[in-house]
Amino acid sequence: MAATCVALVRRSPLTRKSALTQNSKRRDNQRPQPLSTNRWTSLFELLSVLADRAMHGRSGATLPTVVSHDSRFSVRVCVASLVAFFLCVGCEKGTNVSVVTVSTSDGQTITREPIVLSLPMRTDGPKSMDPVRGSTTYDNRACCQVYETLVEYRYLGPLELKPLLLAEMPEVVNHGTVYRFKLKEGVRFQDDPCFPGGRGRPLTSADVFYSWKRMADNDNSPKSWWLLKGAIKGFDSYREEQNAAETFDYDAEVAGMRIINDREFEVELNQPVYRFMYVLAMFQLSIVPREAVETYQERFGLHPVGTGPFQLRDESDWERANYLILHRNPDYHACHFPLKEEVPEALHGFCKEDSFGKRLPLADRVEISFFIQDQPMWLKFRSREVLYSQVPAESYPSAFIKRTGKLRDSYVAEGIVHHAVPLLDYIFFGFNMEDKLLGGDDDKNRYLRQAISLAIDWDERNAMFYNGNNIVYDGPIPPGLDGYPVNGRAPKNYRGPNIEKANELLAKAGYPGGKGLPEIDYYVSRGANNEEQTELLTRQLAKIHLAMNLHLVDFSTLINAITKKKAPMFSFAWGSDYPDGENNLALFYGPNRSPGSNHFNYQNPEFDDLYEQIRGMAPSPERTKIYQQMRDMVIEDVPAIGSMARTRNYVVNPQLRNFLPTENFYNWVKYLDLAE
C-alpha cells in the first residue's frame, strides 16, 4: 500500500521559487532561508507596478509619497527602461519539484520531499559530456553520473574493481588474452526522444563495441585513444582503415571483438595486459547508445544519454561557469548501497544507518555549482549552501591548527568532518637520459644525478608551498599502490638533503666542488607558484655549487621541449590514470621513450624485461616484489628525482552523509544522502 507524506522541499541554493506547502516545516534549520522570501521579491513587485503604470499611462496615485508629482514621469520612464532591458535578459527557469514519488526496495511507492545534493566543482565545468571527447577530472566527474562503464571501483572498501554493467567480473581465458563478458540484466538507457517512443531501450553487447569504436574515430577528436592502442586484436588496423576510408564504418568487423549474443561478448587482446581491466573502468570507455550519437551528432556532448544513476533532462540544465543540474534516473538498474557487513567498521560512522543495502541513487537531484575562484566556494561551504569543499590554501590557517594539522575546534563543534585524501601523484624532477651532461648510464653521469638528488630537500618544499600536507616518498610509485615503499622510504635511496654525500658524489663524477660543471638547463611550466618553487630549487642546488639556467615556459612548450628531447632537466607532475603502479613504471619502459610517455628516455633492458613480465600479471605478492625491484632500479639510476604526492583536504558539512572523499573515481554521488 502506498504510503504518502507531503513535506517541505529540501531547498537547494539553485532553487528559488518552489511553493511551500502549508504544513511544511524546515528540516534543516541551519540552512539559510528560502531565497524567494527575500526582500527583493517586494522590490520586484514594486518595480512591476511602476513599470506597468508607466507603460500603460495609468495614474500613479499609489506611488510612494517620496516620489514627487513632477518627477513621476521620469521615474516611470526609467523604470520602464530598466524593466524592458532586464526582460530581455530572460525569465527564470524553474527547476523545482515540491515532492517526488519513488519506489522503495520492497515495491512500495512513497511520496516525499526530494533529496537535493548541492555539490561544488572547482572549475568552470566539464568541457564535454561525450565520454570519448573528455579527458579531464571534471569531464570524468560529470560524465560518470550519467554514463557507466562495465566495471567500477568499490566504494567504502578496498580499492578494487567490481562489476557495474556486467553481471559478473569477466572470465579470463587463453593465458590472459581472451576476456568473456556477460552484461547485467535489466540495464536500460535513460528515456530520451532519440529512442522510438522516447523510451530508453535495454543495453546490448553491440552498444559496448560501438562505444569503444568511437574511440578510434578521429572525427570524434578522441583524447584517449592511447588507452586502447595496441590492446585489442585488430583494433589498431581497423582504426587506420576506417579513418582512411570516406566514411567510418562502425559495423565493420574487428578481429578481437566478438558478439556472442545480446548480453554476451568476447574480447581478444594482442597480449596479456592486466591494465585492460582498469581501462574498462575509465569514463572514456562508458557505454553510449548509437541512437543518441546519431540523433544529436555534434551536440551529443551537450546532450548526454546513458545508463547512469542521474540524467540531464534538458540542455539548459547545464550552464558553463554556473551550474549543472542532474535528476535521478527513474529506470536505474538494480544497484545497492553496500550492506553493513561489507563496509569496514571504521567507516560506519560516515554512513546513514538506513542507507545500507538501499537501492541507488539515494538523491533525487544533484546540483553542481562551478567555482573558478576558491573564496566563493569556501564561503558557500561555510554558509552551508554546498555540502562539502576542498580546503583552499588561503583558508587552511582558518580551518586547521597548523602545528597539528587538525581541524579547529569551532569547525568540529559545527559537526564539520575533515578528510585528507592522498592523490596518486608523482611530482618529480626528470632528466633526459640522452643528454650528454646529465644523461647516460655510465657511473660518472649517474653520480652527478645522484648528487643533484641528494642536494634537493623535498621536506622544505613541502613545508614552504604545501603547508607540509604532501607525502614525500622515494621512487615513482605513489602512496596506496603496490610497490610503494614502507613509510615512503626505499631501502636504498638518494633523498636529500645530504650535502656532504652530494659533494662526495659530485667529486666522484669529476666535478669537485662543482668545478667544471656547466649551467644546467632546467625547464618548467610557468604559472601557479612554479617560479617560487624554482627559486627554492636554485637555492638548494647552489649549496653544491650547481648553477641553473631557467626556462619558465608554457605547459605546451614544456611538453614540446621534452618530447623533442631538448630539455636536459625538467619538472612536472604525473597523475596516475588508474590505481596500479604499472601505470607509473610504464614511464620508464624503453619502447615508450619520447615522443611516448617515457619522457626520460630511460633505457634499461633488465627493467624492460621486468615490465613486460608484469604487464599481464594480476595483483599478487610476486608482482609487488617485481614492482619493488623496478622501483629500486629507477631510484639507483636516477632518471628522475622524487617524489611527492599531494594531499587534498576535504571538509564536509554535517548534512551530507555517506561521503568518503576519493579522487580515484567519481561515480560516488549515487551513494550520497542527506542527514535527517
Does position 33 bind other proteins by CB under 8 A? yes
Judging by DSSP bridges, how do beta strands 425-431 and 640-645 pair with one another?
antiparallel
Nearest residue (CB) to other proteins, 405 versus 575: 575
Q: Are residues 108 and 3 in contact, defined by beta-carbon separation less than 8 angstroms?
A: yes
Q: Select the residue interacting with other proteins from 91, 339, 413, 528 (CB under 8 A).
A: 91
Nearest residue (CB) to other proteins, 174 versus 297: 297
Q: Select the residue interacting with other proteins from 14, 54, 164, 669 (CB under 8 A).
A: 14
Report CA torsion sign: 341, 346, 349, 355: negative
Residues 293 and 316: their CA atoms lie apart, in Å, by 19
Long-range contacts of 507-513 (CB under 8 A, 24+ apart): 508/443, 508/444, 508/447, 509/444, 509/445, 509/447, 509/448, 509/451, 510/444, 511/448, 513/545
Q: What is the dihedral of CA 445, 451, 452, 456, to 10 degrees?
A: 160
Q: Select the residue interacting with other proteins from 26, 93, 154, 444 (CB under 8 A).
A: 93
Does position 90 bind other proteins by CB under 8 A? yes
Q: Select the residue interacting with other proteins from 6, 252, 255, 379 (CB under 8 A).
A: 379
Does position 566 bind other proteins by CB under 8 A? no
Nearest residue (CB) to other proteins, 120 versus 170: 120
Q: Select the residue interacting with other proteins from 96, 557, 603, 629 (CB under 8 A).
A: 557
Nearest residue (CB) to other proteins, 145 versus 395: 395
**Is 293 exposed, middle or buried, given 0-12, 13-18 or 19+ CB atoms closer than 10 A?**
buried
Closest among 336, 356, 358, 357 to 348, alpha carbons compared: 356
Does position 507 bind other proteins by CB under 8 A? no
Residues 316 and 324: their CA atoms lie apart, in Å, by 9
Does position 127 bind other proteins by CB under 8 A? yes
Cis peptide before 654 (omega within 30 of 0): no
Q: Are residues 360 and 309 in contact, defined by beta-carbon separation less than 8 angstroms?
A: yes
Task: Tell the smallest beta-carbon distance from residue 384 to other proteins (Å).
Answer: 10
Q: Select the residue interacting with other proteins from 101, 271, 322, 613 (CB under 8 A).
A: 322
Radius of gyration of the chain (CA): 29
Task: Tell the smallest beta-carbon distance from residue 336 to other proteins (Å).
Answer: 34
Which of positions 218-247 make contact with other proteins (CB under 8 A)? Answer: 218-219, 221, 223-226, 243
Here the cell at position 39 is: 526582500
Judging by DSSP bridges, how do beta strands 656-657 and 425-431 pair with one another?
unpaired
Task: Tell the smallest beta-carbon distance from residue 527 to other proteins (Å).
Answer: 10
Interface region with other proteins, contact rule CB under 8 A, candidates 66-74, 199-207, 298-306, 508-516: 298-306
For 277, other C-beta atoms within 10 Å of its C-beta total: 18
Residues in Cβ contact with 451 at an 8 Å cutoff, skipping those fewer than 6 apart: 502, 503, 505, 506, 509, 544
Does position 595 bind other proteins by CB under 8 A? yes
Nearest residue (CB) to other proteins, 261 versus 529: 529
Q: Select the residue interacting with other proteins from 70, 246, 251, 298 (CB under 8 A).
A: 298
Nearest residue (CB) to other proteins, 380 versus 461: 380
Residues 154 and 338: their CA atoms lie apart, in Å, by 9
Nearest residue (CB) to other proteins, 147 versus 671: 147
What's CA 476's distance to the chain center, in Å?
21
Here the cell at position 141 is: 566527474
Alpha-carbon separation of residue 401 from 388, 409, 422 (angstroms): 19, 9, 19
Please name every residue paired with 472 in a beta bridge, in sequence order, or none if there are none. 644
Residue 508 CA neighbour count, 13 Å, CB half:
17
Does position 299 bind other proteins by CB under 8 A? yes
3-state secondary structure of 6: coil
Q: x-or-dash pattern for other proteins, window 187-216, by CB under 8 A?
A: ------------------------------
Q: Select the residue interacting with other proteins from 7, 21, 27, 35 (CB under 8 A).
A: 35
Q: x-or-dash pattern for other proteins, window 515-544, by CB under 8 A?
A: ------------------------------
Residues in Cβ contact with 427 at an 8 Å cutoff, skipping those fewer than 6 apart: 470, 571, 572, 573, 642, 643, 644, 645, 646
Which of positions 330-369 make contact with other proteins (CB under 8 A)? Answer: 369
Interface region with other proteins, contact rule CB under 8 A, candidates 91-99, 456-464, 487-495, 579-587: 91-99
Nearest residue (CB) to other proteins, 260 versus 302: 302
Interface region with other proteins, contact rule CB under 8 A, candidates 81-89, 262-270, 342-350, 414-422: 81-89
How many residues line the site for other proteins (CB under 8 A)? Answer: 72
Interface region with other proteins, contact rule CB under 8 A, candidates 32-40, 108-116, 442-450, 474-482: 32-40
Does position 133 bind other proteins by CB under 8 A? yes
Task: Tell the smallest beta-carbon distance from residue 564 to other proteins (Å).
Answer: 11
Which of positions 39-58 make contact with other proteins (CB under 8 A)? Answer: 39-41, 43-44, 47
Q: Would you mind telling me the total number of residues written for the chain in this entry?
A: 676
Which of positions 381-410 make contact with other proteins (CB under 8 A)? Answer: 382-383, 385
